[in-house]
Amino acid sequence: MPGDFEQYASNFPVGGRVSIGIPLADGGAFQDWGVVCALDRDLMELELSRDTLPEGAILTLGHTLELRRPDKEGGRCCRGVLVGEGANGALELRLVDGVGLFEPREYYRQDVYLPVDFRLPPTQQLGEVRDRWRRRLRDQEFAAQQAEFGEPEEVTELRAEVRLRLAQRPMVPPAAANMSGGGMRLNLPERFTPGLLVELTIYLPVPERVLELVGEIVTVQPAPDDEGFRTALRFRFIDEPDRDRIVGYISHEQLALLARQGRTTSDLAGLELKRGIPPRLRLTLGLLILAALVGYLSYSIVDKRQRGEKHEIERIFEEGIARYIMLRRH
């Protein structure tokens, strides 16, 4: 364990910035930044970059959060258990395992049929492409905001202009694509060079959302029957909540496919007991069961809190963490 303490100190120094994944009630995680305020062996105080978390964010005692310090090699990561609140509202985390290399998540792929607007940016300068992407995200957020009481007239007019401009985006017909949370593959009429950056607007039906992101061409191959070029790209710039929406949409499409095949949840439970069931189908069933359990437990905890009581799981977590801290101090 002393070796772990040295790893924590060298990889998460006081004053350093850390990326933290905060679980969301509807699945996925919200990525935020924080600054390490204090580190005593394996006890860290982390001040988040924002005072107000997005709706659905879950921060309760006992939750395990992923911490990551990005670097040129991809970054270092470890996990921490939320054990309390430090000074000035900082999170108090107990780091619970060693520091390892950060490895990007693996994503399941799914054939989808949805509108994708594909265009080249005016420049291939990485910084300029990123800035254009960030401006598109800011425009979307600004347009979605409701006017506040006493808001200046010029701000209201500007919001109306942005909304009109976004509403006039060209409508593109749906296209067949193979998509995951990390990228997509689709047929394009033009042959593009690998490494080229492209701007993407994806019209997601579930949840109904327009996603703005930037992709990078990875491979290009002639499509069968001379129908353009089969182009694979990875998502280079993407807002993490939008990535989670894509993953959720893919899960929705997988379940819809099973439903069209006449599979029900009870059917899946019976099939789970048979040998030879495809691994992806077993995973889908497991995720459904896990989501139902998490939803039920979350509802139970919230209901208890509204009545001024502590849920049994929350109480067990607090008692266990308290015993753990006492043992470590002695």
Helix H or strand E segment including 78: strand 76-85
Domains of the chain: 2-101 (2.30.110.70), 110-234 (no CATH), 265-312 (no CATH)
C-alpha–C-alpha distance, residues 183 and 234, integer Å: 4
> What is this structure's pTM?
0.49
More confident residue, 302 or 120: 120
Answer yes or no: is pLDDT of 320 > 70: no
**Candidate ranges 55-69, 134-148, 227-241, 279-293; pick with highest mean pLDDT:** 227-241
Are the C-beta atoms of residues 124 and 74 closer than 8 Å to each other? Answer: no
- Per-residue pLDDT at 307: 52
219: tokens are 């491979």
Answer yes or no: is pLDDT of 119 > 80: yes
Answer yes or no: is pLDDT of 279 > 60: no
Q: Give the pLDDT band of residue 300 (cuts 50, 70, 90).
A: low
Answer yes or no: is pLDDT of 238 > 80: yes
Counting Cβ atoms within 10 Å, is residue 229 exposed (0-12), middle (13-18) or buried (19+)? Answer: middle
Q: Which residues contact 24 (CB under 8 A, 6 or more apart)?
A: 30, 54, 56, 57, 58, 244
- Per-residue pLDDT at 123: 92
Q: Give the pLDDT band of residue 65 (cuts 50, 70, 90).
A: confident
Q: Residue 229: beta bridge partners?
A: 188, 222
Q: Give the pLDDT band of residue 78 (cuts 50, 70, 90).
A: confident
- Per-residue pLDDT at 264: 47
Answer yes or no: is pLDDT of 14 > 90: yes
Q: Which residues contact 138 (CB under 8 A, 6 or more apart)?
A: none
Answer yes or no: is pLDDT of 60 > 90: no
Per residue in 22-44, pLDDT tens? 877 655 667 788 999 999 999 99
Per residue in 153-183, pLDDT tens? 887 778 788 777 777 777 788 888 988 888 8
Are the C-beta atoms of residues 159 and 147 closer than 8 Å to each other? Answer: yes
